[in-house]
Protein backbone atom coordinates (compact mmCIF):
# COMPACT_ATOMS: atom_id res chain seq x y z
CA UNK A 1 0.00 0.00 0.00
CA UNK A 2 1.09 3.57 -0.61
CA UNK A 3 1.47 6.30 1.92
CA UNK A 4 -1.48 6.23 4.24
CA UNK A 5 -3.29 9.54 4.22
CA UNK A 6 -6.12 9.39 6.74
CA UNK A 7 -9.42 10.19 5.06
CA UNK A 8 -11.26 13.03 6.74
CA UNK A 9 -14.98 12.64 7.21
CA UNK A 10 -17.21 15.22 5.51
CA UNK A 11 -18.29 16.75 8.83
CA UNK A 12 -14.72 17.14 10.09
CA UNK A 13 -13.67 18.68 6.79
CA UNK A 14 -16.50 21.22 7.00
CA UNK A 15 -15.57 22.08 10.58
CA UNK A 16 -11.93 22.62 9.60
CA UNK A 17 -12.98 24.83 6.71
CA UNK A 18 -15.16 27.01 8.94
CA UNK A 19 -12.37 27.24 11.53
CA UNK A 20 -9.84 28.30 8.86
CA UNK A 21 -12.24 30.94 7.55
CA UNK A 22 -12.79 32.23 11.09
CA UNK A 23 -9.07 32.50 11.79
CA UNK A 24 -8.44 34.27 8.47
CA UNK A 25 -11.18 36.80 9.20
CA UNK A 26 -9.84 37.39 12.71
CA UNK A 27 -6.31 37.99 11.39
CA UNK A 28 -7.54 40.37 8.68
CA UNK A 29 -9.83 42.23 11.08
CA UNK A 30 -6.81 42.65 13.38
CA UNK A 31 -5.16 44.82 10.72
CA UNK A 32 -5.59 48.49 11.56
CA UNK A 33 -5.92 51.04 8.79
CA UNK A 34 -2.26 51.91 9.36
CA UNK A 35 -1.37 48.25 8.85
CA UNK A 36 -3.27 47.97 5.58
CA UNK A 37 -1.63 51.20 4.42
CA UNK A 38 1.76 49.73 5.30
CA UNK A 39 0.96 46.51 3.46
CA UNK A 40 -0.19 48.40 0.37
CA UNK A 41 3.02 50.44 0.49
CA UNK A 42 5.09 47.25 0.88
CA UNK A 43 6.35 48.65 4.21
CA UNK A 44 7.73 51.78 2.55
CA UNK A 45 6.75 55.31 3.64
CA UNK A 46 4.66 57.50 1.33
CA UNK A 47 6.95 59.10 -1.24
CA UNK A 48 7.56 62.73 -0.34
CA UNK A 49 10.32 63.52 -2.85
CA UNK A 50 10.77 63.50 -6.62
CA UNK A 51 13.46 60.82 -6.12
CA UNK A 52 11.28 58.57 -3.94
CA UNK A 53 9.35 56.79 -6.71
CA UNK A 54 12.58 55.47 -8.27
CA UNK A 55 13.56 53.72 -5.05
CA UNK A 56 10.00 52.58 -4.47
CA UNK A 57 9.57 51.10 -7.97
CA UNK A 58 12.84 49.20 -7.61
CA UNK A 59 11.66 47.85 -4.25
CA UNK A 60 8.23 46.92 -5.62
CA UNK A 61 9.47 45.10 -8.72
CA UNK A 62 12.14 43.30 -6.69
CA UNK A 63 9.27 41.96 -4.59
CA UNK A 64 7.35 40.95 -7.72
CA UNK A 65 10.41 39.15 -9.11
CA UNK A 66 11.00 37.43 -5.77
CA UNK A 67 7.34 36.39 -5.58
CA UNK A 68 7.34 34.92 -9.10
CA UNK A 69 10.54 33.03 -8.31
CA UNK A 70 9.03 31.86 -5.03
CA UNK A 71 5.82 30.62 -6.66
CA UNK A 72 7.76 28.70 -9.32
CA UNK A 73 10.07 27.15 -6.72
CA UNK A 74 7.24 26.26 -4.32
CA UNK A 75 5.23 24.86 -7.26
CA UNK A 76 8.12 22.66 -8.35
CA UNK A 77 8.73 21.49 -4.78
CA UNK A 78 5.10 20.48 -4.27
CA UNK A 79 4.92 18.93 -7.72
CA UNK A 80 8.00 16.82 -6.97
CA UNK A 81 6.71 15.89 -3.51
CA UNK A 82 3.40 14.63 -4.86
CA UNK A 83 4.44 13.30 -8.27
CA UNK A 84 7.48 11.39 -7.03
CA UNK A 85 6.27 10.39 -3.59
CA UNK A 86 7.12 6.95 -2.34
CA UNK A 87 4.37 4.60 -3.43
CA UNK A 88 5.53 1.38 -1.91
CA UNK A 89 7.39 0.33 1.23
CA UNK A 90 9.97 -1.74 -0.64
CA UNK A 91 10.55 0.36 -3.68
CA UNK A 92 12.61 3.53 -4.04
CA UNK A 93 11.69 5.94 -6.88
CA UNK A 94 14.14 6.29 -9.73
CA UNK A 95 17.14 8.33 -8.53
CA UNK A 96 18.25 11.00 -10.99
CA UNK A 97 21.74 12.47 -10.87
CA UNK A 98 23.98 14.47 -13.19
CA UNK A 99 21.12 15.75 -15.31
CA UNK A 100 23.17 18.13 -17.43
CA UNK A 101 20.36 20.28 -18.89
CA UNK A 102 18.91 20.74 -15.40
CA UNK A 103 22.28 21.70 -13.93
CA UNK A 104 22.95 24.16 -16.73
CA UNK A 105 19.49 25.66 -16.12
CA UNK A 106 19.89 26.10 -12.39
CA UNK A 107 23.31 27.65 -12.86
CA UNK A 108 22.29 30.09 -15.56
CA UNK A 109 18.87 31.09 -14.19
CA UNK A 110 20.17 32.67 -10.93
CA UNK A 111 22.98 34.41 -12.83
CA UNK A 112 20.42 35.91 -15.22
CA UNK A 113 18.26 37.01 -12.29
CA UNK A 114 21.24 38.73 -10.65
CA UNK A 115 22.04 40.46 -13.95
CA UNK A 116 18.50 41.85 -14.14
CA UNK A 117 18.54 42.99 -10.48
CA UNK A 118 21.98 44.53 -10.96
CA UNK A 119 20.94 46.36 -14.12
CA UNK A 120 17.91 47.96 -12.46
CA UNK A 121 19.81 48.78 -9.26
CA UNK A 122 22.47 50.64 -11.25
CA UNK A 123 19.80 52.39 -13.35
CA UNK A 124 18.00 53.63 -10.21
CA UNK A 125 21.24 54.53 -8.46
CA UNK A 126 22.34 56.62 -11.45
CA UNK A 127 19.02 58.43 -11.39
CA UNK A 128 19.24 59.12 -7.63
CA UNK A 129 22.85 60.27 -7.58
CA UNK A 130 22.49 62.47 -10.66
CA UNK A 131 23.48 66.06 -9.79
CA UNK A 132 21.79 69.07 -11.32
CA UNK A 133 24.51 71.66 -11.98
CA UNK A 134 22.13 74.41 -10.88
CA UNK A 135 20.28 73.29 -7.74
CA UNK A 136 17.80 75.81 -6.32
CA UNK A 137 19.68 75.90 -3.04
CA UNK A 138 22.54 74.23 -1.25
CA UNK A 139 22.46 73.18 2.39
CA UNK A 140 25.69 72.29 4.16
CA UNK A 141 25.00 69.39 6.51
CA UNK A 142 27.33 68.28 9.25
CA UNK A 143 26.90 64.92 10.92
CA UNK A 144 28.87 64.94 14.14
CA UNK A 145 28.85 62.54 17.07
CA UNK A 146 25.90 62.67 18.00
CA UNK A 147 23.75 65.08 16.17
CA UNK A 148 23.40 67.25 13.09
CA UNK A 149 24.10 70.83 12.10
CA UNK A 150 22.22 72.37 9.17
CA UNK A 151 23.69 75.44 7.47
CA UNK A 152 21.38 77.38 5.17
CA UNK A 153 22.86 79.94 2.82
CA UNK A 154 21.67 83.54 2.73
CA UNK A 155 21.70 85.60 -0.44
CA UNK A 156 22.97 84.72 -3.90
CA UNK A 157 24.14 81.17 -4.52
CA UNK A 158 27.37 80.48 -6.37
CA UNK A 159 26.63 77.16 -8.06
CA UNK A 160 30.26 76.73 -9.12
CA UNK A 161 31.34 76.32 -5.47
CA UNK A 162 32.55 72.83 -4.64
CA UNK A 163 31.66 72.81 -0.94
CA UNK A 164 35.21 71.63 -0.28
CA UNK A 165 38.28 73.38 1.18
CA UNK A 166 36.35 76.46 2.24
CA UNK A 167 34.80 76.97 -1.21
CA UNK A 168 31.16 77.48 -0.25
CA UNK A 169 28.17 78.56 -2.30
CA UNK A 170 27.15 81.50 -0.11
CA UNK A 171 28.86 84.38 1.66
CA UNK A 172 26.65 84.13 4.69
CA UNK A 173 24.93 81.35 6.54
CA UNK A 174 22.35 80.75 9.22
CA UNK A 175 22.48 77.49 11.07
CA UNK A 176 20.69 75.25 13.51
CA UNK A 177 22.32 72.53 15.49
CA UNK A 178 21.12 69.73 17.72
CA UNK A 179 22.51 67.57 20.47
CA UNK A 180 21.81 64.04 21.51
CA UNK A 181 19.24 65.40 23.96
CA UNK A 182 17.72 68.04 21.77
CA UNK A 183 17.22 66.92 18.19
CA UNK A 184 17.42 69.58 15.47
CA UNK A 185 14.90 70.38 12.75
CA UNK A 186 15.79 70.68 9.10
CA UNK A 187 13.44 73.12 7.38
CA UNK A 188 13.23 72.86 3.59
CA UNK A 189 11.20 74.60 0.89
CA UNK A 190 8.84 72.42 -1.14
CA UNK A 191 9.33 71.72 -4.86
CA UNK A 192 12.91 72.96 -4.94
CA UNK A 193 15.94 70.92 -5.90
CA UNK A 194 18.06 71.01 -2.79
CA UNK A 195 21.68 70.00 -2.77
CA UNK A 196 23.04 68.63 0.48
CA UNK A 197 26.80 68.83 0.90
CA UNK A 198 27.61 66.29 3.59
CA UNK A 199 30.44 66.86 6.07
CA UNK A 200 31.71 64.82 9.00
CA UNK A 201 34.41 65.90 11.46
CA UNK A 202 34.68 62.49 13.12
CA UNK A 203 33.40 59.15 11.83
CA UNK A 204 31.22 57.90 8.97
CA UNK A 205 27.56 58.84 9.42
CA UNK A 206 24.73 58.50 6.94
CA UNK A 207 22.25 61.25 6.25
CA UNK A 208 18.78 60.18 5.25
CA UNK A 209 15.07 60.87 5.41
CA UNK A 210 12.94 57.73 5.06
CA UNK A 211 10.04 59.60 3.43
CA UNK A 212 12.37 60.95 0.74
CA UNK A 213 13.59 57.38 0.10
CA UNK A 214 17.07 58.81 -0.16
CA UNK A 215 20.18 58.59 1.97
CA UNK A 216 23.92 59.03 1.60
CA UNK A 217 27.06 58.34 3.60
CA UNK A 218 28.70 61.27 5.38
CA UNK A 219 32.42 60.56 5.24
CA UNK A 220 35.19 62.50 7.00
CA UNK A 221 37.73 63.99 4.62
CA UNK A 222 35.40 64.24 1.65
CA UNK A 223 32.17 66.02 0.72
CA UNK A 224 29.44 63.76 -0.60
CA UNK A 225 26.68 65.52 -2.48
CA UNK A 226 23.08 64.48 -2.69
CA UNK A 227 20.15 66.26 -4.30
CA UNK A 228 16.56 65.88 -3.24
CA UNK A 229 13.40 67.63 -4.35
CA UNK A 230 10.77 67.40 -1.59
CA UNK A 231 7.32 67.35 -3.17
CA UNK A 232 4.91 67.19 -0.25
CA UNK A 233 4.70 69.70 2.59
CA UNK A 234 4.72 68.08 6.00
CA UNK A 235 6.77 66.92 8.94
CA UNK A 236 9.05 63.93 8.54
CA UNK A 237 11.65 62.07 10.54
CA UNK A 238 15.29 61.89 9.54
CA UNK A 239 18.12 59.86 10.99
CA UNK A 240 21.65 58.59 10.78
CA UNK A 241 21.68 55.32 8.86
CA UNK A 242 25.23 54.29 9.72
CA UNK A 243 26.14 52.73 13.05
CA UNK A 244 28.56 55.46 14.07
CA UNK A 245 29.15 54.79 17.75
CA UNK A 246 27.54 54.52 21.13
CA UNK A 247 24.91 57.25 20.68
CA UNK A 248 24.14 56.53 17.05
CA UNK A 249 20.51 55.98 17.95
CA UNK A 250 20.28 59.59 19.14
CA UNK A 251 21.23 61.00 15.75
CA UNK A 252 17.68 61.82 14.85
CA UNK A 253 16.32 65.00 13.33
CA UNK A 254 12.99 66.37 12.21
CA UNK A 255 12.32 67.56 8.70
CA UNK A 256 9.76 70.20 7.91
CA UNK A 257 8.91 70.77 4.29
CA UNK A 258 7.24 74.18 4.02
CA UNK A 259 6.30 76.78 1.42
CA UNK A 260 8.99 79.11 0.07
CA UNK A 261 7.54 82.03 2.10
CA UNK A 262 7.67 80.01 5.33
CA UNK A 263 11.21 78.92 4.51
CA UNK A 264 12.33 82.52 4.02
CA UNK A 265 10.65 83.48 7.30
CA UNK A 266 12.46 80.60 9.02
CA UNK A 267 15.85 81.79 7.75
CA UNK A 268 15.02 85.32 8.95
CA UNK A 269 14.15 83.91 12.38
CA UNK A 270 17.49 82.12 12.62
CA UNK A 271 19.31 85.30 11.60
CA UNK A 272 17.38 87.28 14.19
CA UNK A 273 18.33 84.74 16.84
CA UNK A 274 21.96 85.45 16.00
CA UNK A 275 22.62 82.03 14.50
CA UNK A 276 24.66 83.42 11.66
CA UNK A 277 28.12 82.58 10.40
CA UNK A 278 30.40 83.68 7.57
CA UNK A 279 31.09 80.08 6.69
CA UNK A 280 29.06 76.95 7.37
CA UNK A 281 29.73 75.02 10.56
CA UNK A 282 31.25 71.84 9.27
CA UNK A 283 33.27 70.59 12.19
CA UNK A 284 36.88 69.63 11.69
CA UNK A 285 39.08 72.40 13.07
CA UNK A 286 35.87 74.33 13.73
CA UNK A 287 34.61 71.70 16.08
CA UNK A 288 35.87 73.30 19.30
CA UNK A 289 35.40 76.96 18.64
CA UNK A 290 32.21 77.34 16.65
CA UNK A 291 28.82 77.64 18.24
CA UNK A 292 26.68 74.55 17.89
CA UNK A 293 29.67 72.32 17.36
CA UNK A 294 31.22 72.74 20.80
CA UNK A 295 31.51 70.03 23.43
CA UNK A 296 27.83 70.32 24.18
CA UNK A 297 27.19 68.50 20.92
CA UNK A 298 28.23 65.31 22.60
CA UNK A 299 24.87 64.51 24.04
CA UNK A 300 26.20 61.67 26.14
CA UNK A 301 28.38 63.85 28.37
CA UNK A 302 27.10 64.40 31.91
Q: What angle do CA 80, 85, 91 make, to 5 degrees?
A: 135
48 and 212 in contact (C-beta within 8 Å)? yes
Instruction: For residue 244, state whether it binds Cu ion (rule: CB under 5 A).
Output: yes
Report strand pairing: 194-199 vs 137-144.
parallel
CB of 246 to Cu ion, least distance (A): 11
Nearest to 143 by CA among 53, 260, 36, 250: 250
3-state DSSP assignment of residue 64: helix
By CB under 5 A, which span of 60-68, 82-90, 120-128, 246-254 interacts with Cu ion? 246-254
Closest CB 251 distance from Cu ion, rounded Å: 4
Burial per residue of 125-139, b for 16 or more beta-carbon CB atoms within 10 angstroms, e otherwise: eeebeeeeeebbbbb
Residue 239 contacts Cu ion per CB under 5 A: no
Binding-site member from 240, 258, 281, 282 for Cu ion (CB under 5 A): 240
- Residue 170 or residue 206: which is nearer to Cu ion going by CB? 206
| Nearest-angstrom CA–CA distance, 150 and 207 | 11
- Residues 81 to 110 in contact with Cu ion, rule: CB under 5 A: none
Measured from the CB atom, the residue of 201 and 280 that comes closer to Cu ion is 201
Which CB sits closer to Cu ion, 259 or 300? Answer: 300
251 binds Cu ion (CB under 5 A): yes
Nearest to 139 by CA among 297, 266, 46: 266
Which is nearer to Cu ion, 47 or 239 (by Cβ)? 239
Q: How far apart are the C-alpha atoms of 215 and 53, rounded to whole Å?
A: 14
199 is a site residue for Cu ion (CB under 5 A): no
Nearer to Cu ion, 24 or 249 (CB): 249
Number of residues that bind Cu ion (CB under 5 A): 4
Closer Cβ to Cu ion, 205 or 229, answer by number: 205
Is 183 a binder of Cu ion (CB under 5 A)?
no
The nearest distance, CB 228 to Cu ion, in angstroms, is 19
Q: How far is the CB of 207 from Cu ion (least distance, A)?
A: 9
Question: C-beta of 144: minimal distance to Cu ion in Å?
Answer: 8
Instruction: Decide: helix, strand or coil at residue 160.
Output: coil
Contacts of 234 (CB under 8 A, 6+ apart): 48, 211, 256, 257
How far apart CA 169 and CA 135 sit, in angstroms, is: 11
Name the site residues for Cu ion (rule: CB under 5 A). Answer: 205, 240, 244, 251
Amino acid sequence: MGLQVPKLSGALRRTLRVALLGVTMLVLAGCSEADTHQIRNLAMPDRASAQGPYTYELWKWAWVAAMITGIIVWGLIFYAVVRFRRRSDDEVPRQTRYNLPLEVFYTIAPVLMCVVFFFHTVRVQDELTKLDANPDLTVEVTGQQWSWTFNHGIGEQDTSATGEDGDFAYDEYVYTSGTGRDIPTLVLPVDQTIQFNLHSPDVIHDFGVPSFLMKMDVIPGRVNKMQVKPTVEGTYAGKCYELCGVSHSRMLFNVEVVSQAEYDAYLADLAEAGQTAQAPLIGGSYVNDQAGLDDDSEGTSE
